Structure 1
Amino acid sequence: MEMIHSMWNEYPFLKQELSAIRQLMLDSVEMEDEDIHQAIVTMLQQGGKMIRPAYLTLFANWTNNGNQQQVRAVAAALELLHVATLLHDDVIDEADMRRGEETLNTRYGNRVAIYAGDFVLTSCYQLLSTHLSDLEGITLPTNGMARVVEGELAQMRNRYRYDLGLQEYLKRIEGKTAQLFMVSCYMGAKLGQMDDALRAKKIGQQIGMAFQILDDILDYQVTPQEFGKPVLEDVVQGIYTAPLIYTLEKESHKMIPLLEKKQVISEQERVLLRKLVHDSGGLQKAQQLAQQYTKQALSQIDRLPESDMKATLTQLTKQLLERTM
């Protein structure tokens, strides 16, 4: 199986580094239980794009002052942190599929999946404590993880709350998704001894926001086969995202009766809801919101000092945030 996504073929340096990072991740999750170990390995190999490690790597190599072994270890640790959150998310969401494959909780049960996520999380902090000597390097991912958990808790607390607007949604995804982008970019800049690490952190926040909004848009555009997981599952779970929130502003009288069905909303009603989102312009407004964050990120990238990495950072960000799929 090809370990690195094909999108990296046009970025040879990143492909090489991400291959090394992925191998380090695999080496870090060795365990005695062969079945669970293989399930974790399969998840690590089954198509994640490793976007956060790529951004960390770019910033860490901005000045050529970074320790490459240390950079790879921190990138691997932060991606393991991301994987641990996915394993736990799948349990909470009762998800059957992830990236087109059966989830670990479906295959082995919730208890095993939770312990597997805990094990991956432990592997993350083992890597950080082994390769970082400064306290900030340990506390940043810890604080980032706390914000991720806060975002997840807010999402659970506000399930089926169609009265909450766009600002609550943005606050939620800033914690749930943008935090790990922020930490990755900031840690990369610090490891590479960049003077403008705070700008890198801001770029990470903007990229993370745009990334999640685009991911939420895809839920209304593609089939489950294309997306690798069930579409409109967030609606069933009571998690309302930008396209739906914008549609509610115009079509609340049509949307609310559908949303009040909660988990018993039928397939036919899902199709109707999806059509309302398309016809109301909700997708276009969400796309414009993502574009705002994308433009902000690209503007901040332009202000960074010159580096061999700058053109790659700009190209990757445009490719990632101007995607249709």
Structure 2
Amino acid sequence: MKTAKQYLASDFEAVGEIIKENLDPNEILVNSKSYELFKSGGKKIRPTFTLLVGRLGDPEKYQDVLKASASLELIHMATLVHDDIIDNSRLRRGRSTVYYEHGYLQAINTGNYLLSTSLSIVSTIKHKALHEAFSKAIRDIVDGEIFQLDHQFDTHQTLDDYYTKIYRKTALLIELSIKMGAYASNVEQRILDALLIYGYHIGMSFQIIDDCLDFIGSEKSLGKPKFSDLQNGHYTLPVLMLRDESQNFSRKLNAFDGSREQLDELIEDILASDAIDRSIAISNVYIDKARSAIADIDEPIRGYLMEIAEKLSNRLN
């Protein structure tokens, strides 16, 4: 059996052509930097879901699926550019960020250009429910960015706050990816309902694993410096779990002023605890629920969705 990447190889070529045509790389810096971001790689998880789900619907509608896939990749890229501004990040996917290399205004313009290009592509798809889902998700993504910024360095945020953040940051876009593929190709509602349960749980697991990798992954695989979430005041599941059970750690977290010495102490405490292992266990519960949700999805799509779930759960190995 082919891998999902092999199965969708020609589709991704078509998506790439749509993005290239619409970004129109030229001498204008914003256009060129936007296209460089696309070429730099990434997992392309979101368009993968759109393309796979689109295969379950009407083959004659597949050109719209390709457009939806392209628009989602551009939205994801826009959120990364804006995240780099919020986090003052120097690196993204092993390269200098637009923000670090060209400054605040160019980074804002690049993110906005990616977003507007995404909107331009999706506007050519004629499907009311697709446009309603797309516009609502855009608003929710922006709300999520604001919510994350409001909780930066917030030592009193709850676990529910954390789950809200990661839903808006990751699971929401995966749900949207599934909806876009389903609406664009007229997938049956009962199938879409099952896929959305899968997408929610995959998204939550994906972000929890990402948050654990910030402590135990390699900078090469992360594409950004290790410990950047903690350093930038984005307190993730391992941090919050340890905060709630250790008064000593909680005091250190409350006193954290961004210094390297204090950061190193916090990191040492987290790595010496079982907070990361327990966070991984929670991620695995989400993965199991995702697997269960797609029991009745037709092959080979079910197999490829299961493949993605396995790869996500094995990223720590």
Contact 1:65 1:193 in 2 (8 A): no
The code of the aligned residue for 2:295 comes to D
Aligned partner (choices 163, 171, 186) of residue 164 of structure 2:
171
Contact 1:236 1:262 in 2 (8 A): no
Deviation, structure 1 residue 15: 2.3
Residue of structure 1 in register with 2:283 after alignment: 290
TM-score by length of 2: 0.93
The code of the aligned residue for 1:296 comes to K
Provide the rounded CA distance (Å) in 2 between the counterparts of 1:308 and 1:257.
50
Provide the rounded CA distance (Å) in 2 between the counterparts of 1:324 and 1:178.
19
Residues 100 and 31 (structure 1), Cα distance of their counterparts in 2 relative to 1, 3 Å cut: closer
Deviation, structure 1 residue 309: 1.4
Q: Does 1:311 align with 2:303?
A: yes
Provide the rounded CA distance (Å) in 2 between the counterparts of 1:192 and 1:302.
21
Q: What CA RMSD, in Å, does the superposition of the two structures yield over aligned residues?
A: 1.9
Provide the rounded CA distance (Å) in 2 between the counterparts of 1:225 and 1:12.
24
Give secondary structure in 1 for the equivalent of 2:152: coil
Give secondary structure in 2 for the equivalent of 1:67: helix
Aligned partner (choices 233, 241, 244) of residue 238 of structure 1:
233
Deviation, structure 1 residue 251: 2.0
Provide the rounded CA distance (Å) in 1 between the counterparts of 2:40 and 2:204.
24
The code of the aligned residue for 1:245 comes to L
> Superposition pairs for residues 179-218 of structure 1, below 5 Å?
179-195=172-188, 196-218=191-213
Provide the rounded CA distance (Å) in 1 between the counterparts of 2:47 and 2:274.
34
Contact 1:147 1:176 in 2 (8 A): no
Aligned partner (choices 58, 75, 78) of residue 72 of structure 2:
78
Provide the rounded CA distance (Å) in 2 between the counterparts of 1:23 and 1:46.
15
Provide the rounded CA distance (Å) in 1 between the counterparts of 2:313 and 2:123.
33
Provide the rounded CA distance (Å) in 1 between the counterparts of 2:285 and 2:146.
27
Aligned partner (choices 147, 150, 173) of residue 140 of structure 2:
147
The code of the aligned residue for 1:201 comes to L
Deviates more, 1:193-202 or 1:275-284: 193-202
Instruction: Give per-residue Cα distances to partners, 1:103-159, cap 9 Å, x unaligned.
Output: 0111111101111111111111111111x1122222212111111111121111122
Q: How many corresponding residue pairs?
A: 314
Give secondary structure in 2 for the equivalent of 1:12: helix
Contact 2:58 2:187 in 1 (8 A): no
Give secondary structure in 1 for the equivalent of 2:215: coil
Provide the rounded CA distance (Å) in 1 between the counterparts of 2:95 and 2:311.
25
Provide the rounded CA distance (Å) in 2 between the counterparts of 1:31 and 1:118.
16
Contact 2:4 2:307 in 1 (8 A): no
Q: Does 1:89 align with 2:89?
A: no
Provide the rounded CA distance (Å) in 1 between the counterparts of 2:64 and 2:251.
51
Residues 231 and 66 (structure 1), Cα distance of their counterparts in 2 relative to 1, 3 Å cut: farther
Give secondary structure in 2 for the equivalent of 1:220: helix
Deviates more, 1:232-241 or 1:191-200: 191-200
Provide the rounded CA distance (Å) in 2 between the counterparts of 1:17 and 1:262.
48
Deviation, structure 1 residue 10: 6.3
Aligned partner (choices 28, 31, 39) of residue 33 of structure 2:
39
Contact 2:252 2:266 in 1 (8 A): no
Instruction: Give per-residue Cα distances to partners, 1:241-285, cap 9 Å, x unaligned.
Output: 00111111222313432442232x21x433332221122210011
Provide the rounded CA distance (Å) in 1 between the counterparts of 2:35 and 2:26.
13
Instruction: Give per-residue Cα distances to partners, 1:213-233, cap 9 Å, x unaligned.
Output: 110000010243442212222
Contact 2:91 2:225 in 1 (8 A): yes
TM-score by length of 1: 0.90
Provide the rounded CA distance (Å) in 1 between the counterparts of 2:173 and 2:276.
25
Instruction: Give per-residue Cα distances to partners, 1:279-303, cap 9 Å, x unaligned.
Output: 2210011101111110110000113
Provide the rounded CA distance (Å) in 2 between the counterparts of 1:97 and 1:116.
16
Contact 1:66 1:191 in 2 (8 A): no
Residue of structure 2 in register with 1:272 after alignment: 265
The code of the aligned residue for 1:173 comes to I
Deviation, structure 1 residue 187: 1.8
Residue of structure 2 in register with 1:322 after alignment: 314
Residue of structure 2 in register with 1:125 after alignment: 119
Residue of structure 2 in register with 1:50 after alignment: 44
